Amino acid sequence: MRNLLFPIICLSFLITQFASAAPNIVWIIGEDASPNLSCYGEETIETPRLDGLAQEGVRFENAFVTCPVCSPSRSAMVTGMYQTTLGAHNHRSQREDGKGGGNEDYYESYKLPVKSIPDLFKEAGYATYNVGWEAGGKTKPGKTDYNFIWDPAMYDSG
């Protein structure tokens, strides 16, 4: 029994260390993508990379949004809160071109009452990136019209 004690202690230590390691997280938001992905049964359009991620990760089959347009949905995704709770429920209401429906002054001065999800990830030791794409496969910063003032430091890059 004494000969087994040391290996059991070592194994316990290794299991504890392995269990406490932070998981890798890749959070992909596909805007205006529709359900036309082969991992959801689409037979015409092939999406092998996304299918691989869906097979190994989490795939949502019964998800809903609380706003049917993109910028308020981004506001909700980046905070984990309803847009109406934040007062960020109007589409692109902080636009600088004056086409925001008359709410530009409000949204240009509105600061979040909560920490954003990227901020929380950074506090937990994760690197955060906001990357988009354009024709030709070139990357560019992802969309950031969240309908509130945000600190660019919430992303390490992008």
Catalytic annotation, residues: 70
C-alpha to C-alpha distance for 154 and 89, rounded to whole angstroms: 21
Query: Cβ distance 104 to 145 under 8 Å?
Result: no
Sign of CA dihedral 107, 108, 113, 119: positive
The dihedral formed by the CA atoms of 69, 74, 75 and 76, expressed in degrees to the nearest 10: 90
C-alpha to C-alpha distance for 158 and 152, rounded to whole angstroms: 9
48 forms bridges with which residues in the sheet? Answer: none
> Which phi and psi angles does 141 have, rounded to 5°?
-60, 145
Report the amino acid identity of residue 129: Y
Q: Is 110 helix (H, G, I), strand (E, B) or coil?
A: coil
